[in-house]
Amino acid sequence: MRGAPSRCCLCLLVLWCGPGDSSVDATVQVNGDGTASVTGEVEENYKGCARDGICYFKLKSGKSEIRVLYDPGETDAQLPNRSQVPQLLKVDPGTIITAYGSHRERGSLHTIDAYSKKEYFIHILRNQR
């Protein structure tokens, strides 16, 4: 007696990511003390602090906008992380960073202040250059 034919199905999905296409959307991890951390790819390095405005990184994210502020612009306040600004101004889109700081959320906009306290930081994990 011949049994029912055995069928084996193997489905394999291969995703091809060419150079520069392997980015992952950044997500904000909010802490109960009003701080947050984020790791993600820089989409834009806004350099308004060169003209008395603010400087921030806009990170690639899906439905929300994430900004990591690294210089508030012209101020008389002593900022403990201001010595990092010249290096951060050189960061190009595509660079992967991780940051920690004070968090604010307005609608779909997340803002992380990474400049106003000594324990706040921005680290460059992989530069696109």
Sign of the torsion angle spanned by Cα atoms 46, 112, 41, 82: positive
Q: What is the mean pLDDT of residues 88-99?
A: 96
pLDDT single digits (tens) 21-55: 456 789 899 999 999 999 999 999 999 998 889 99
pLDDT score recorded for residue 109: 96
| Total-model pTM | 0.79
Domain ranges in the chain? 27-126
In sequence order, the 6+-apart residues with CB closer than 8 A to the CB of 83 are none
Bridge pairing between strands 65-71 and 109-113? parallel
Where does residue 94 fall: left (phi above 0), alpha (psi -120 to 50 degrees), or beta otherwise? left
The C-alpha atoms of residue 56 and residue 49 are separated, in whole angstroms, by 9
Q: How confident is the model at residue 98 (pLDDT cuts 50, 70, 90)?
A: very high
CATH for 27-126 is 2.40.50.140
